[in-house]
Structure 1
Amino acid sequence: MNHSLSKLFCTSVLISCAITSAYLTYLYMNELGAAIGVAVIFSLIGITLDLVKTITPTFIPTVAKQNPLIAVLLVSLTGVLMVISTIASISAIEKGADNMAVSTKQNIAITEQIKLKQQQLANLQQLSDEQLRINYATPAAATAVMISSVTDDLNALYEAQSSVKSTSMLREYDATITLIIAVTIEVVSVVMALTLHSLNTLEVSVKSVSNPVNTRVEPPSEKQVIQSVMPSVEVYKTPEMQFAASVMDDVKEAILSGTVKPSQRALKAAFNLPQEQIKIILNALHEQDVLEPWNNGGFRVKVA
C-alpha cells in the first residue's frame, strides 16, 4: 500500500475510534454527572481524558528515547484511562441495549394488538355485509359504528408503531459481545496511533536518505581547466588570455619538438600571435618547468 494511503487509513481509523470512544465516554460521564447536578462538567472531563488517552500513544516512543521514566508514567496513565474508557463504553452500550430491548418489547406488543384489531375489523365488516344482505338496518348501523371505532383504534396503533425505533438488526446484547466491542475500540485506537507514529518516523528516515549531503564531484569548469594549463594565471578575464590558453598545447609541442624556438620573434612568425599573448605563453611554460630563463630575459628549453 502507498505510504500516503497508509497514513490516511491509519488516521481515519484513529479518528473514528476517538470519536466513538469520546461519545460513549460522554454518555457515561453525562449520566454520572447528572446524578449530582454537574452533567456538563463531568462530560467535559470525560471527553478531555478520552482525547488524552487517544493522543498519548502517538508520542510515547519518542519520549521513551529521551526519558524512559516519563515514558513509563505515560504508559501507566494511558492504561488507566483505557480502563476508564472501557468501563464507560460498556456502560453506554449496555444502556443502549436496554433501551433497544424496551423498544423491542413495545414493538412486539403493538404488533400483536394490530393483528387483533385487524382480525376484529375483518369480522365486523363481514357481519355488516351479512346484515345489509338480509336488510337488518338497525343492527347494521350499530355494526358500522363499531367498525369506525375499531378503525380509529387501528390507526392509533399504526401511529404508535411508527414512533417506536426499529430493532431488526440487534434485539439483545450479550455481555461478552459488549465487552469485546469496548475493548476492541481501545486496542484499535492504540494500534493505529503507534502505527501512525511508525509511518511518520519512516517518512522522516526516507527523506533524510533520499536527500543526502551533496558529495558529488562536479566536473571542472572552463576556468579550472585553463588554470591547470597555465597555473601562473589565476583568473582569465581578457580575450587575449583566453586565446593564449587555447593555443598553449600547440606552442608547447612545437617548442619541445624543436620546430620553433621559445622566443617572441619565432612564435610570432610561426603562430602569428600578438606580443602580449606570446609573453603569457612563455611565462606559463616557464612555470610548468618546460622553459628556463636564458640570455637576458629570453627562454630556452629546460635541460633535465
Structure 2
Amino acid sequence: MPELPEVETVRRGLAPVMEGALVNRLELNRADLRFPLPEAFAEKVSGRRIVSLGRRAKYLLIELEDDLTLISHLGMSGSFRIEETVQGDFHHARSKDSKHDHVIFHVEHDGKHQKVIYNDPRRFGFMHLWKRSELDLYPAFAELGPEPTGNALDADYLARRLSGKSQPLKGALLDQTVIAGLGNIYVCEALWRSHLSPKRQSGTLVTPGGRPKKELTRLTEEIRAVIVDAIAAGGSSLRDHIQTDGSLGYFQHSFSVYDREGEACRMPGCGGTVTRITQSGRSTFYCPTCQK
C-alpha cells in the first residue's frame, strides 16, 4: 500500500495541473471502487473549480469550491496519471490498461484541457465527498496523530505518548493515533537509522520523569529525515505505485534494511546481517547487531 511519501509525491505531481483548474466534467466508468462512489458524485464535482490539493496522512485531499473536499485513498493499486488532450484525442500514449480507468477528471486550466485519470486494477482505493469545514469529523481523521514532518511531532510529544508503554517500538510507531501516515517501510528505516530495535519496549525511551531520552530525540529526527528523503526520491515504487507522469519512485534503491533479509548491514563498522521477523502479522527488517 502506498505510504505517506508516495501520496505526497502524487499530490505534488497533480498540483500544477489541478490547482485552480475547472472540472468541466467528471467521468465515471463504474459506480464503485472499494466502496460505492458518493451519491450524485459526477454532478457535485462537475462545474466546480479546484481550490487546492492537500494531504492528511495517506489520504489525498482535493479541495473544491463551496466548502467541498474530495477525499481519495489509493488503496493497494490506485494511481493518478495526467494526459493532455488535443481535439479530444490523447496527446500521450496511455501508460496503464484503460479498462482500469475508473474515474476521469476533465479539467481546464488557463485554456489548456487535460485529463486526470484514476486507475485502480484491484479497486481497493476509494473516494468520498466531505465538507471542508468539518474535515476533523471525517471518521478516519478524528483520532489521527500529527504528521511526521509537522511541527507538532517532537521528542516531548513522543515521550508523552510512549511513557510507561511495554508495547514494542515498531508497533507503537505504526499506531496512526501516535503518528499519522507512518507505514511499515519507513518505520523500519527510521529505527535502523536510530540504532533502535523494533522489539524494544517503547517506554524505555522515556525517563521516569516523563522526559525523552537522547535515543528518542534521535528517533524523532530520523523519522522526519527518512520521510523527507523518500519524498525527494519520489517515493518507493513497490508493486503498483508510480508517479503521476508514469515514472517510478527511487527511494527503494536507498533502503538500508527493508526487504534486505540476509544481506550485510550497511551501518559503517557494524558487520551484522539484516534479519526479518514478523510483528503483528507484518514483516520487520532490522539488524540485531547494531539495533538495540
TM-score by length of 1: 0.17
TM-score by length of 2: 0.17
Structure with the higher strand share, 1 or 2: 2
Which has the greater radius of gyration?
1
Structure with the higher helix share, 1 or 2: 1
